[in-house]
Structure 1
């Protein structure tokens, strides 16, 4: 595979698992999440609308889909540093993929890196809500 090819969703998940395995404790992992969130592309204020808001998150999260069933792109942002890092992980696995691939991909990286145990209930709910909104959009365009 050449360097410009996008890894599959499964490979992206495995890469995330491998990266998080480098860190000895959750303080370091949270810092890494925050750093990932800081690398998200700029998100225009004009898109921070109620229509794009993900409900169920304690912090503000916006998710904007574009593209079609062949290749769906997602842009997202949050006002929370850790949630921005979660967004970075989710986009890495799900953005710029065919809708059917998105629907077929379970977010196993969440459990594999221990996120499920280390997120507050409100952050876990927000992550579930974000994935649900993303998958709902994929289902809509896949028809």
Structure 2
């Protein structure tokens, strides 16, 4: 992401503000999806849950921040705090598609603010199976979601800070 101008990307304070404002809602979304009795209710929870993500300002919707492999436009930014075993990773992400925002919200609820080890050992397939989404998403949505999860893991493992 070195080719993104500083004024066109989130700053450390943006990560902190978004994380503290939304993390409880993002974590609750996973429980709402898990407890929904059928696919229609899970889908509805995802659509509503995506609203917990603050919209990205236009200037942050940079091509260099786009997640490749997503059919819909999706952007991902990363910031870390701490060192070594205590390093925590924070993410800002959003999409131009409501259902994708809901899926992003699920991932951020599980991974934003977590350690490198937690992120690297996170099993997205097991998580989606546990909340009842396995097999419910189209192949293109599933591929996009896995691309986002891989991008998050890549940030966590390649972070030079």
- Is residue 114 of structure 1 aligned with residue 127 of structure 2? no
- Is residue 88 of structure 1 aligned with residue 101 of structure 2? no
Query: Normalising by structure 2, what TM-score?
Result: 0.74
Counterpart for residue 139 of structure 1: 157
Deviation at 1:33, TM superposition (A): 0.2
Structure 2 gaps, min length 5? 1-19
Deviation at 1:102, TM superposition (A): 1.0
- Aligned partners of 1:66, 1:44: CA distance in 2, in Å? 17
Alignment length (residue pairs): 133
Superposition misfits of 4+ residues, deviation over 6 angstroms: none
Structure 1 gaps, min length 5? none
- Aligned partners of 2:60, 2:88: CA distance in 1, in Å? 21
Query: Normalising by structure 1, what TM-score?
Result: 0.83
Q: Is the contact made by 2:33 and 2:46 (CA closer than 8 Å) also made in structure 1?
A: no
Counterpart for residue 127 of structure 1: 145
